[in-house]
């Protein structure tokens, strides 16, 4: 590895050039936040296999490269974007190319008064008071090296603000596309979604690339769900099979709010998702579902934390893993019930299917409970295709591959069918049957 500068050194060095490139956008507030985050980034050690949180995920492949920070705009044709839209789904579209908002590609439908859908860099200019109130308020970000890196390089990302009592009827489809020729680049989308009191919205985060390039996506999404608000979130990760994808999602829920997330992961050479949901008040509901379908030498790692800090909240979690070839999967789901968080219900499930002898799954469902009037459970299973079920299908004249596809679809249906948007369900169904009946 010649001429590769140490990962941390590299980003420390590049920061000045980065901030200079922001000319004019360099407001005092954001500058302070970035500077503090850079200090945190400098102080935090890079995770190794000795850290409990990273014991199954070795990030050394990521450290082999120096990823360039993109400062100039890249262009993507509307036709390319059209390929990634869901058939027959009426939705607002916002597009980020290499982490930067692309107005040409984006298209919004009619919106209720006061709703803001756009880019974070615009929001910093136009709605600084909202950004200041909600941005980077979750302190865990300061202790995570990749989140600190994201904060230090905060520039752009999706920004959604739905004021009190407003309902955004159509889903908001956010496409993050990475496009580069031979350059290895890093994109750091920084998303901030705020649902006001009694509001409702549906968000689709969609990560794609136009080529099978090596690049690094370091995404941070912050979601604030205020009182009585309902947020439905889908993340579809279809990055290049050579890409690195490290993402953190922080959800804060106020009284009687409802948050649902479906995280579908298909791409990436190395993917690490951290999803943290925190109940700030009573009476809320949180659903975290996920599906990861990996093959080749892909590594997928998801860590979730549901923090029952307040009583009377319910959480449901269901993750399904399908692993083929030499793929490696890691599931770590933690449910924390704090003292006095009585009347908590928390259910967690993780089901995995291994299709080859070389695939590997590490699963660790954790329950930490400090209150007694609770109902909590978790279950994890690991197995292979049910040979009897397959035989049943084969004996009825269904080809081997089709039978496999049917069984895989059935296996993953628990998660897929709970996605509310029909068009996404269809998209995934099609993708699964295509993948396994080839």
Partner 1 sequence: MSSTEVKKIEELTNQDYKYGFVTDIETDSLPKGLNEDIISQISAKKDEPEFMLEWRLKAYRHWLTMKEPHWPNVKYPEIDYQEIVYYSAPKNLPKLNSLDEVDPELLKTYEKLGISLEEQKKLTGVAVDAVFDSVSVATTFKKSLEELGIIFSPFSEAVKEHPDLIKKYLGSVVPYTDNFFATLNSAVFSDGSFVYIPKGVRCPMELSTYFRINAANTGQFERTLIIADEGAYVSYLEGCTAPMRDENQLHAAVVELITLDNAQIKYSTVQNWYPGDKDGKGGIFNFVTKRGACRGVNSKISWTQVETGSAITWKYPSCILQGDNSVGEFYSVAVTNNYQQADTGTKMIHLGNNTKSTIISKGISAGHGQNSYRGLVKVSKKAKNARNFSQCDSLLIGDKCGAHTFPYLEINNSSAHVEHEATTSKIGEDQLFYLNQRGIDTENAIGLIVNGYIKEVLAELPMEFAVEAQKLLSISLEGSVG
Binding site for partner 1 (CB under 8 A): 52, 339-340, 342, 352, 354-384
Nearer to partner 1, 13 or 358 (CB): 358
Number of alpha helices (DSSP H) and beta strands (DSSP E) in the chain? 9, 21
Taking the complex as a whole, the smallest distance from the CB of residue 334 to partner 1 amounts, in Å, to 9
Q: Determine the 3-state secondary structure of 187 from DSSP.
A: strand
Nearer to partner 1, 372 or 388 (CB): 372
Nearer to partner 1, 20 or 340 (CB): 340
Nearer to partner 1, 148 or 337 (CB): 337
Calpha distance 408→234 (Å, rounded): 21
Nearer to partner 1, 266 or 361 (CB): 361
Q: Determine the 3-state secondary structure of 14 from DSSP.
A: helix
Taking the complex as a whole, the smallest distance from the CB of residue 329 to partner 1 amounts, in Å, to 9
Taking the complex as a whole, the smallest distance from the CB of residue 265 to partner 1 amounts, in Å, to 19
Phi, psi of 90 (to 5 degrees): -80, 120
Taking the complex as a whole, the smallest distance from the CB of residue 358 to partner 1 amounts, in Å, to 7
Taking the complex as a whole, the smallest distance from the CB of residue 344 to partner 1 amounts, in Å, to 10
Share in percent of the chain as helix, strand, coil (round to 5): 25, 40, 35
Calpha distance 279→306 (Å, rounded): 8
Calpha distance 353→154 (Å, rounded): 38
Pick from 410, 269, 418: which is nearest to 353 by CA? 410
Taking the complex as a whole, the smallest distance from the CB of residue 120 to partner 1 amounts, in Å, to 38
Q: Would you give the distance in Å from CA 429 to the centre of its chain?
A: 20
Exposure string of 401-412, with b = 16+ CB inside 10 Å and e = fewer, is eebbbbbbeebb
Residues 6 or more apart whose Cβ sits within 8 Å of residue 332: 53, 301, 302, 303, 304, 363, 364, 365, 366
Nearer to partner 1, 382 or 398 (CB): 382
Pick from 12, 5, 7, 2: which is nearest to 60 by CA? 7
Nearer to partner 1, 108 or 367 (CB): 367
Task: Specify whether the CB–CB gap between 190 and 220 falls below 8 A.
Answer: yes
Taking the complex as a whole, the smallest distance from the CB of residue 370 to partner 1 amounts, in Å, to 4
Taking the complex as a whole, the smallest distance from the CB of residue 258 to partner 1 amounts, in Å, to 24
Taking the complex as a whole, the smallest distance from the CB of residue 373 to partner 1 amounts, in Å, to 6
Nearer to partner 1, 268 or 321 (CB): 321
Nearer to partner 1, 52 or 79 (CB): 52
Phi, psi of 125 (to 5 degrees): -75, -45
Phi, psi of 322 (to 5 degrees): -125, 120
Backbone CA torsion sign across 142, 179, 251, 62: negative
Q: Would you give the distance in Å from CA 85 to the centre of its chain?
A: 18
Taking the complex as a whole, the smallest distance from the CB of residue 352 to partner 1 amounts, in Å, to 8
Nearer to partner 1, 375 or 401 (CB): 375
Say which DSSP state 214 is in.
-
Residue-wise DSSP of 298-350: -EEEEEEEEEE-SSS-EEEEEEEEEE-TT-EEEEEEEEEE-TT--SEEEEEEE
Calpha distance 17→31 (Å, rounded): 13
Nearer to partner 1, 198 or 412 (CB): 412
Taking the complex as a whole, the smallest distance from the CB of residue 55 to partner 1 amounts, in Å, to 9
């Amino acid at each position: 590895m010649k001429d590769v500068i140490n990962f941390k050194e590299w980003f420390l060095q590049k920061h000045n050039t980065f901030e200079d490139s922001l000319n004019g956008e360099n407001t005092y507030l954001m500058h302070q936040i970035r500077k503090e985050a850079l200090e945190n980034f400098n102080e935090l050690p890079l995770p190794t296999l000795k850290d409990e949180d990273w014991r199954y995920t070795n990030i050394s492949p990521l450290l082999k490269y120096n990823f360039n920070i993109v400062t100039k705009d890249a262009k993507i044709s509307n036709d390319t974007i059209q390929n990634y839209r869901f058939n027959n789904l009426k939705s607002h579209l916002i597009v980020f190319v290499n982490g930067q908002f692309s107005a040409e590609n984006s298209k919004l439908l009619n919106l209720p008064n006061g709703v803001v859908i756009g880019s974070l860099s615009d929001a910093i200019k136009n709605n600084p008071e909202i950004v200041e109130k909600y941005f980077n308020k979750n302190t865990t970000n300061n202790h995570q090296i990749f989140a600190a890196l994201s904060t230090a390089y905060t520039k752009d990302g999706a920004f959604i603000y739905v004021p009190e009592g407003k309902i955004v009827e159509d889903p908001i489809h956010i496409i993050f596309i990475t496009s580069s020729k031979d350059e290895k680049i890093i994109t750091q989308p920084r998303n901030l979604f705020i649902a006001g009191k009694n509001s409702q919205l549906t968000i689709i985060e969609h990560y794609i690339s136009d080529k099978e390039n090596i690049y690094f996506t370091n995404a941070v999404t912050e979601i604030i769900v205020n009182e009585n608000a309902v947020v439905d979130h889908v993340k579809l990760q279809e990055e290049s099979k050579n890409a690195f994808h490290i993402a953190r999602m922080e959800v804060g829920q106020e009284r009687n709010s409802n948050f649902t997330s479906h995280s579908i992961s298909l791409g990436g050479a190395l993917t690490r998702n951290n999803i943290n949901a925190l109940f700030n008040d009573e009476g809320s509901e949180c659903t975290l579902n996920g599906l990861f379908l990996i093959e080749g030498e892909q590594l997928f790692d998801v860590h979730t934390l549901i923090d029952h800090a307040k009583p009377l909240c319910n959480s449901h979690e269901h993750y399904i893993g399908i692993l083929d070839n030499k793929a490696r999967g890691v599931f770590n789901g933690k449910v924390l019930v704090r003292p006095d968080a009585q009347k908590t219900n928390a259910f967690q499930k993780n089901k995995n299917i291994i299709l080859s002898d070389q695939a590997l799954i590490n699963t660790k469902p954790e329950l930490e409970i400090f209150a007694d009037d609770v109902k909590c459970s978790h279950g994890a299973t690991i197995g292979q295709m049910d040979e009897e079920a397959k035989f049943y299908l084969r004996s009825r004249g269904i080809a081997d591959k089709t039978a496999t596809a049917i069984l895989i679809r059935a296996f993953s249906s628990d998660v897929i069918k709970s996605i509310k948007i029909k068009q996404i369900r269809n998209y995934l169904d099609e993708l699964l049957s295509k993948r396994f009946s080839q």
